[in-house]
Amino acid sequence: MAKISALSGFPEWLPAERLVEQHVIDVFREVAELHGFSGIETRAVEPLEQLLRKGEIDKEVYVLRRLHAEEDGRAPGDDSGADPSRTLGLHFDLTVPLARYVLEHQNDLSFPLRRYQVQKVWRGERPQDGRFREFYQADLDVIGQDTLPGHIEAEVAVVMAEILRRLPLPAVTIHANTRKLSEGFFRSLGLEDRTAVLRALDKLPKIGEAAVRALLVEDAGASPEQADACLAFASIRTRDGSFADRVRELGGTGEMVEEGIAELTAVVERVEAAVPGVILADLSIARGLDYYTGTVFESFVEGHEGLGSICSGGRYDSLATDNRHTYPGVGLSIGLSRLVARMLSAQMARPSRPVPTCVLVSVADEESRAQSDAVARALRSRGIPCEVAPTAAKLGKQIRYADRRGIPYVWFPAADGSDEVKDIRSGEQQAVDPGTWEPPAADRTVQILAGDVTE
């Protein structure tokens, strides 16, 4: 037997940990469906040429090869790796596959398409800095055909805010900015190289104000006064529409600035109305503004800001396009595995018990196993998860077995119907009927508890 060792970058959870991950996925799905989003899954592979269209991260793609193709000396053709249109790679996000799915199935979809998607993606990065090579992404997008109303930007943020609020996390804040506001402001200051300005501001959390000011002057061609105005702009964070006046006070003016103000105010107000306290206008948000074309979002967990944004996205004017149609979209994506890894390591969440089982039905002797099976059947018919003891060991041993697995109740069937059930945490034991006994609601199925909950 070969030595077994963990693979760096490929996280794997124990059963109790998986309950937390499953809960996060369940909440995501439940809230998305409450808002009328359809779940889809796309195949794990895409032609390499599709994956490389995004350009920047081509080094990270895992390319697939059938083992026999390799033995064949990599002859040209299917799976050979020689032809990028026929070579397959594992998807590294869920956006490239969505674009392909929308084009491939456009005649069978109705638009705006409201879709959520929770799947694993793969990136061949060096597994450092808490980066995984295999991880779940959870995406939420609304895709229009040719047009997509602006208010969808707020709507997608609302759905994501409801998801994040329902998870056992410290307070999460969704930071929003819009491209028009930043670009209009830099333009009204007279700055030409707005990409350089964005790039400099994006470094604020890492290198600090002084270094960013230097970058703005040296790389972005700003005067010291312009640099100060940019830094003052980037320091604006408000829970409501009051950011607008501060932008104007700093000299922000013109049509683009006012459009940006109107857009961001609408997003902030609509999200605040739906999920009070979650949204923050944050004009320092720069990352993605060169890619997204409208509102852009990043989200941070209180006390875990070092984790970076756990949920990002925004509006893009063209997810996909063909000869007939352009597909604009608004999307937000949670880096789910990274979030779950932190939830587990920081003990933000834990399952109320490590297994689904609520009741262990004991077995007095192998001859009466059928009777224990019947009790278990009666409990399950009412939705109470249970298992029957694997062996007819001494009852003390069966109780220890339940204890070791974290099963809260042990049932003792009796031939004369005088069954009893024991709560092995309290030791309390009572006479019960398998047709009517109910565990407390908190014990029925596994609950995911916030880490700071004391029982």
Does position 59 interact with its own copies (CB under 8 A)? The reply is yes
Tell the smallest beta-carbon distance from residue 15 to its own copies (Å). Answer: 4
By the rule CB under 8 A, 409 interacts with its own copies: no
By C-beta, is 89 or 335 nearer to its own copies? 89
Name the DSSP class of 330.
E
Least distance (Å) between residue 415 CB and its own copies: 17
State the Cα–Cα distance between residues 158 and 274, nearest whole angstrom: 7
Touching its own copies, residues 18-47 (CB under 8 A): 18-19, 21-22, 33-45, 47
- Residue choice 20, 24, 79, 220 for contact with its own copies (CB under 8 A): 79
Q: By the 8 A CB rule, do 359 and 409 touch?
A: yes
Q: Is residue 63 a contact point for its own copies (CB under 8 A)?
A: yes
Q: Candidates 240-248, 386-394, 416-424, 436-444 — which segment interacts with its own copies by CB under 8 A? A: 386-394
CB 292 within 8 A of CB 179: yes
> Does residue number 426 form part of the binding site for its own copies (CB under 8 A)?
no
Subset of 253-282 contacting its own copies (CB under 8 A): 270, 273-274
Please identify which residue in 54, 64, 221, 232 interacts with its own copies, judged by CB under 8 A: 64
Q: Which segment (99-107, 234-242, 247-255, 433-441) binds its own copies by CB under 8 A?
A: 99-107
Q: Is 405 in the site for its own copies (CB under 8 A)?
A: yes
- Distances in Å between the Cα of 316 and the Cα atoms of 140, 241, 331 are 13, 23, 8
Residues ≥6 apart with Cβ < 8 Å to 108: none
Min CB(140)–its own copies separation in Å: 13
Q: Would you count residue 127 as binding its own copies (CB under 8 A)?
A: no
Q: What CA–CA distance (Å, rounded) separates 388 from 374?
A: 10
Residues 142-201 that bind its own copies (CB under 8 A): 144, 149, 151-152, 155
Cβ(46)–Cβ(170) below 8 Å: no
Helices 152-166, 255-274: inter-axial angle, 10-degree rounding: 40
62 is in an annotated binding site: no
Least separation in angstroms between CB 240 and its own copies: 15
Quick check: 290 binds its own copies (CB under 8 A)?
no
Cα distances from 71 to residues 67, 84, 85, 140, 257, in angstroms, run 7, 19, 21, 41, 61
Residue 377 CA to residue 158 CA, distance in Å, equals 42
By CB under 8 A, tell whether 49 contacts its own copies. Answer: yes
Tell which one of 170, 171, 377, 397 touches its own copies (CB under 8 A): 377
- Angle, alpha carbons 346-351-356 (nearest 5°): 150
> 310: which DSSP letter?
S
